[in-house]
Chain A
Amino acid sequence: MQIFVDANGSRRVVARLVSLTVAIGLIVFAAVIGGTLLEMW
């Protein structure tokens, strides 16, 4: 087994979830800020 390799793939799932959460969080965050600023115009 190579160094760092995850035997059952659970780390991969967790990492993907973290990436997905961060990406969606940032998109929602940007949308809320941008949307509100547009509305305030």
Chain B
Amino acid sequence: MRRAPRLHWISILLGLLVLMSVVSFHAYTAIRPEPVQHAREHRDLPERTLALAFHGGPDPKWTPRLLATLREAGIKATFFVTGTQVTRNPDVTRRIADEGHQIALDGFRVEGDLGNPLNLAFAQAALADALGTHTRLVGAPVEVDSGDRDYQDIGTLVRMSLQHGGGVVRLHDDGSIGADIARELARTPGYRFVTVTGDRPVEATATERFTGAVTTWSQRNGGLVLTLLGTAIAIAALLGLLRTLMQLGLAHTDRRLRREGEHEPPPWFAPPVSVVIPAYNEAVNIAATVRSIAANNHCADVEVIVVDDGSTDGTADRAEELGLPGVTVIRQANQGKPAALNTGIRKAKHDVLVLLDGDTIFEPGTIGELVQPFADSQVGAVSGNAKVGNRRGLLGRWQHLEYCAGSNLDRQILHALRCIPTVPGAVGAFRKAALTDVGGVSDDTLAEDTDLTMAVTRAGWRVAYRQQAKAWTEAPSTVHGLFRQRYRWSYGTFQAMWKHRGALLEKGPMGRFGLIYLLAFHLLLPMLAPVMDLYVLYGFIVADAPLALIVWTVFLLLQTASAGYALRLDGESLKPLWAYPLQQLVYRQLMYAVVIQSLITAWHGTQLRWMSVRRTGLLTDAPGGTVHVT
């Protein structure tokens, strides 16, 4: 296999980081904490000189009125603005500057919070965006309190403003009273009005303006990003809920129908069967697989064909050494799994074929159960129930849970909708006529089982699911191995979906339900679900942590309950359920990564080859305990 593309992961992670920064900054600016008291410098002004210092603005309603009053009175004042207000009212800020008043900074979110250097930087960035300048006057000096926050009587306010016969007077422009006091002070004879300092604003550099534009955009549009994230979450949650409801509803109906069937079972159907086992470097498992097939209790002839696809580890020798009757071993040069399957299918002498991988263990009754649906002549393929044989360790448990709560429950829904998209390579049976109809197994995709099943459905055959036909398979025991296996499955499924996209326009269950189901739950949901994790993370860090925890817990409980029900339906113990919440933290994200990686690979057009899973030969949870072949 060529090295998988990795550069895109850097782009994706950086993009997510930028997105998180935008929404976090938006949330930061949306909150207005308590004003902060800070040490003030003393600024000496001559006798009977007033510097009017307005705080709390700019305000879209009151600041323009104040500006009109100051213009009439011919007074130049100083506006100690707050950064977030500047971003909200850039036009008013520009008017203040245009009319010759001095702009100074008093805070970013609230008055006096510039003790935090990051707030100061954000406030300067806001000014750079609105005015193209930054100011040297940061933080108000010692001021004469006009009392405008505490009193309303204009006489009192003027008296308080003039109590020291001059100085910097503290006023506010986020209410009507500021303009009234200014008007009265202007009428008081004998006073001169100046700005707090004579500093001229400094031109902002290009990068300062750029930073200002970005922070302003984030403050204004972070809400929009949050809305988009929220919409994605709503769709993901809806899909998740829909899937759970469908799983529960249909699995329940299916179960009821089967129970009814048990009361009056149809006559046992026992056609002769050809079993085809394609194997590539399966020396560790092949003997156990072939033995388990040979030990079947099927009531008719069972022919076993092992096709060794150019193995280098003596797989064919191991199969031949068994010396079991009815087992044929065919060796061929390495041509890939589809070619090996086609060889086996050609050699098979019976009309019903069971196809299984070289790492799968059948129970004695599996073949007999698997062929039962063929009693209906419209059934062209039957999917068995694949089970994880190595459940020791967290990874094994997680996969066991996923097989039961994900794949098998899915299969029951799709069985009810009559559009099972995959008869798994681990355990499936086909009518030879159906395989002939579709021209055998194609090598167009890496998921030849999905491709074949879709083709069989499109050819007009029904595909059934037989839960009782259990097969034990070895699941990957390392995260890397699991990623590679799922990557191949997911990529192969997308290939098969694309190959059979025409089915969407055809009459028949594959297009109407199968492809749409796969699109919704195997493509859209895994793409949207990471946003949910991101949102929960945002909720924990920035917004309402308890609410985020509640939402997350409710979803987890819902999913755990659904998984528990799936285990019950499959006749499994509920014990491994404790590992389910942990699955949400590592395993789920791994599965998203698989889907994203598959899409990127499809876009890149990289040629992937068969990726085999490293075998250990340990199927400790298969019936009969340890099936370790030495």
Does B284 touch A at the CB level, under 8 Å? Answer: no
Which B1-16 residues have a C-beta within 8 angstroms of A? 5, 7-8, 10-11, 14-15
Contacts of A5 in B (CB 8 A): 605-607
Does B18 lie within 8 Å of A3, measured CB to CB?
no
Does B210 lie within 8 Å of A36, measured CB to CB?
yes
Whole-angstrom CA separation of A33 from B21 in the bound complex? 11
Does B5 lie within 8 Å of A16, measured CB to CB?
yes
> Chain A contact residues (Cβ within 8 angstroms of B): what range?
20 to 34
Contact of B120 among A19, A35, A41 (CB under 8 A): A41
Contacts of B17 in A (CB 8 A): 30
Whole-angstrom CA separation of A5 from B600 in the bound complex? 12
Whole-angstrom CA separation of A29 from B214 in the bound complex? 10
Q: Mark B470-508, 1 if CB is under 8 A from A, else 0.
A: 000000000000000000000000111011000000000
Does A3 lie within 8 Å of B14, measured CB to CB?
no
Contacts of B118 in A (CB 8 A): 37, 41
Whole-angstrom CA separation of A36 from B215 in the bound complex? 11
Known: A3-B445, A30-B14. A36 touches B604 (CB 8 A): no
A-B interface contact total, Cβ < 8 Å:
95
Contacts of A3 in B (CB 8 A): 444-445, 495-496, 498-499
> Chain B contact residues (Cβ within 8 angstroms of A): what range?
35 or more
Q: What's the least CB distance linking B472 to chain A, in Å? A: 30
Does A2 lie within 8 Å of B211, measured CB to CB?
no
Known: A5-B606, A41-B118, A41-B120. A36 touches B7 (CB 8 A): no
Does A2 lie within 8 Å of B444, measured CB to CB?
yes
Does A4 lie within 8 Å of B495, measured CB to CB?
yes
Whole-angstrom CA separation of A2 from B200 in the bound complex? 69
Does B337 touch A at the CB level, under 8 Å? Answer: no
Contacts of A32 in B (CB 8 A): 207, 210-211
Whole-angstrom CA separation of A11 from B443 in the bound complex? 22
Contacts of A2 in B (CB 8 A): 443-446, 495, 607-608
Whole-angstrom CA separation of A6 from B317 in the bound complex? 38
Contact of A4 among B15, B124, B602 (CB under 8 A): B602
Nearest 10 pairs between A and B by C-beta?
A6-B605, A40-B121, A3-B495, A36-B211, A26-B14, A22-B11, A41-B117, A19-B7, A11-B605, A37-B121
